[in-house]
Structure 1
């Protein structure tokens, strides 16, 4: 890239996962709760208590729980800390929100036959007769004109309601009691779409600059939105309802098909939140999908085609059908396997995910993760608060494969490229001494050996030792498409506090992990010295591999000074004070329960008759700047 390449910087981030609300580093604080000071612990508990509906917050600074009033976060935390902590992160599947893993409804097929010469006889409402009536059925009228009597010698493939004990009983669920649908007019939206609306709202609000101010500084086509999931919307309001409604005797909704598309996590942001007419897309790279979309977003900014980009993903896979699928392929940690592996009778569901430790499968999770990026020049102009920069994202497939789900060589390439790129930008010493690595860390036996071997061999090639490796899936579970988004937003918290979450669900690092040059810990660690770089590593079924380079806000600022001069950067920092104040005000209101969800159904629609088109530009009503149509011939040397 040339010296004039735009630098994509993260100016807002948000979302919701098993640790709570992401903006303001609140979800990150839940990951390192044991290492926080008392005041931040109390604030974390209070914030979650309100989000979970356990407490309400009053303008006078008091909290209410039922008839009781608490004067501040500290007194509230004394009462609710245990409840909040036990009902966040990975835990036993909540039957009130999802399904009962001890008593999962399913249908058993059976064939019913009459006894001896006696036929099977039953009554049925006339309107419930199958169409057409089976030829072997004898149907008789009854005294009730709405009811018929049926005789038949045999009923084949009868479905009988039954219940079974589900082998998988843990998941990374949103904090108990937090219901995304309650925070806006959700109109039967699938859960992943609900989470997308809330997550993107959180990220946009966290910027601290009104969206209309941002859009007034760029042309309408200079905005991009890139978001996806991989399981689409598999609950009853999306693709799940499309597939099973008629089999359950119901009707397919008019919304099932369209709301089941994985692009809805992008389309809702454009159509109902920011009114964007810029480019959009939903790239899927299995469990690395967030990085695939991030790669698109940063390339659009670096090339100058876009100046503002929203990147993210939202996945809600905690359905019995999805979990059944992953469990059948042996990918998930089952209760029986945990009993055998750990030698216990009572399984601790909170510790089902143990990356790089003795483990037996990953733990599925739900999450919504979004970041807002600008080019460096626009961020300075607007006085945006810069949380990090994204230097690059590298993607590679695995080549020929014997198993579509098995890991392959592609991740060697992506991580090696990322480290080489960081060396080219900052020099070897920065990478060796001032970087951390956020692992995919899925908590499968195969992952712990194959991914750690990649890390260890890349570290050897680049002379790195004691490389800190973090695995946030230990707390959050595996959220599939947005999983690397969980890693990215957690890394932003690490840049700020330098507390590295340990793999606290594990007793020890497994002996077969390649860890000669790695630093894996089962306790939180404080990073010593300057933390400049966070490498984000992600792997996905089918051979989707991604590795990204995040640059700390401090190192980013020094880069901006080098490019724009100290005076211009200091002027931007002065403007930033108002931005930070506005972001803190949003955070305060969100902590009090006002999430300020952005959802504008049918509002602000563009009057197409008022669109002005000339040979030089397209002017859209409602947008300050026109879209420039003056183009240079990119193939001038060929014409």
Structure 2
């Protein structure tokens, strides 16, 4: 019998295409609103980019942070700091020895704005004009480092990089820090700021992005037969993880428990998922085993579901393989239909959605599904929220990334 401490979530923070904080983002998600818009720039025309829309943050970081802060941080770190400050305040700004506080903030791509701006400076103005802060701004651990400095987290500062599974892996790592006794509290999550002409061009070259330029809000359509790719978005999601005993001792409110972690690797292809879904099913099963929950305990899944023609159905088959007949009573939500794909921040934001779904006993909707894929044999929550049952219930949040990274988290109600 494991003696590892239970890990609970006591604080939530986010900045997303749906809202500048968690309450506004969650409200928009439950209302089925899209955060995807045509970009207010001339990138498509100037550079010949076939995609002219994305999910930009609803509230620019410059409206929240001071000018000196925005000058010394890449947007990826700016978003992380905005979300982390919200999460810390939401947790009651706990007093804690920095030796018992950790920070794990992931990014799939890192400081790409800083890197490309720096290269433009070298080409156009010469090496002497490159800012001295360029390397500290562009490094992928910059968001984690800035968060750790902000809160004095000295138990450890980490930045897992696992593509679109990064945010979920950061939360998993934070849970492990608490379980192994390294920390009592960990600030954990993901961030991404890749709405830039180069990444958009690169993803478009892979045929990974939707090109529905005439209908940006309807472009992300997981499980619909007309889906044609994901929608690139930006933002951050951060949670405060805490040992249950520590949270209880200080009288903290608790949103839910991160009960199980499951990770695996496909070892198949640098971008395409393994077609049988064996790695995804392994991650889900490991998370359920770790949480000691059965298939009948799972009532909700926030799917990875990016709106790609191949990936969506591999996950559906994996869910059915793991849960069997019990999958029939699961409410399935694909919230990227509203937020777009936040890459390294997606798993963290969707963990927030999962724990709020359990708290409020409501599964958020999936929008834009007008013609469901005939292979979809799960109960997809479409267009309007759906009630979840009372009692002790569990949800799974799936996150999968280029390179074959698979992460599943099981959260349970309190």
Q: Deviations over 1:369-392 (max 9, x none)?
A: 100011111101000000011012
In structure 2, stretches of 5+ residues that fail to align are none
Pairs within 5 Å for 1:360-509: 360-399=228-267, 401=268, 403-408=269-274, 409-422=278-291, 425-427=292-294, 429-431=296-298, 435-460=299-324, 463-509=326-372
Q: Which residue of 2 aligns with 1:350?
A: 217
Deviation, structure 1 residue 304? 1.9
Instruction: Give yes or no for the alignment of 1:319 onto 2:192.
Output: no
Q: TM-score normalized by structure 1?
A: 0.61
Deviation, structure 1 residue 427? 4.9
Deviation, structure 1 residue 275? 2.1
Q: Which residue of 1 aligns with 2:395?
A: 534
Q: Which residue of 2 aligns with 1:10?
A: 9
Deviation, structure 1 residue 180? 0.9
Write the distance in 1 (CA, Å) between the matches of 2:6 and 2:134: 40
Q: Deviations over 1:201-242 (max 9, x none)?
A: 11111112x34xx21xxx43211100121211111xx21223
Q: Which residue of 1 aligns with 2:101?
A: 223
Over 3 Å counting, the alpha-carbon distance change for 1:436 and 1:447 in structure 2 is: same
Q: 2:145 aligns with which of 267, 277, 289?
A: 267
Q: Which residue of 1 aligns with 2:411?
A: 550
Over 3 Å counting, the alpha-carbon distance change for 1:528 and 1:329 in structure 2 is: closer
Deviation, structure 1 residue 183? 2.4
Q: Secondary structure at the match of 1:325?
A: helix
Write the distance in 2 (CA, Å) between the matches of 1:275 and 1:525: 39
Instruction: Give yes or no for the alignment of 1:332 onto 2:216.
Output: no
Deviation, structure 1 residue 426? 4.5
Write the distance in 1 (CA, Å) between the matches of 2:346 and 2:159: 15
Q: Secondary structure at the match of 2:241?
A: strand
Deviation, structure 1 residue 292? 1.4
Number of equivalences: 404
Write the distance in 1 (CA, Å) between the matches of 2:201 and 2:295: 46
CA contact (8 A) 1:192 1:233 kept: yes
Pairs within 5 Å for 1:628-639: none
In structure 1, stretches of 5+ residues that fail to align are 35-84, 107-163, 339-346, 554-639
Q: Secondary structure at the match of 2:220?
A: coil
Write the distance in 1 (CA, Å) between the matches of 2:103 and 2:203: 30
Deviation, structure 1 residue 249? 3.3
Pairs within 5 Å for 1:20-419: 20-23=19-22, 25-33=23-31, 89-95=35-41, 100-104=42-46, 106=47, 164=48, 166-175=49-58, 178-187=59-68, 188=71, 189-208=73-92, 210-211=93-94, 214-215=95-96, 219-235=97-113, 238-250=114-126, 251-271=129-149, 273-335=150-212, 347-357=214-224, 358-399=226-267, 401=268, 403-408=269-274, 409-419=278-288
Q: Secondary structure at the match of 2:395?
A: strand
Deviation, structure 1 residue 421? 4.0
Deviation, structure 1 residue 170? 1.7
Write the distance in 2 (CA, Å) between the matches of 1:359 and 1:500: 22
CA contact (8 A) 1:101 1:168 kept: no
Which structure's relative contact order is higher, taking Cα pairs within 8 Å and 6+ residues apart? 2
Deviation, structure 1 residue 102? 4.3
Q: Deviations over 1:490-510 (max 9, x none)?
A: 123212332322222221311
Q: Deviations over 1:415-473 (max 9, x none)?
A: 12223444xx3555423xxx21110010100112211111122222x743232111110
Over 3 Å counting, the alpha-carbon distance change for 1:16 and 1:528 in structure 2 is: closer
Deviation, structure 1 residue 349? 0.9
Deviation, structure 1 residue 196? 1.4
CA contact (8 A) 2:228 2:307 kept: yes
Q: Indicate the RMSD between aligned Cα atoms, in angstroms.
A: 1.9
Q: TM-score normalized by structure 2?
A: 0.92
- Structure 1's consecutive aligned runs of 4 or more residues displaced over 4 angstroms after TM superposition are none
Q: Deviations over 1:261-294 (max 9, x none)?
A: 01011111122x2123221111111100112111
Q: Secondary structure at the match of 1:20?
A: coil
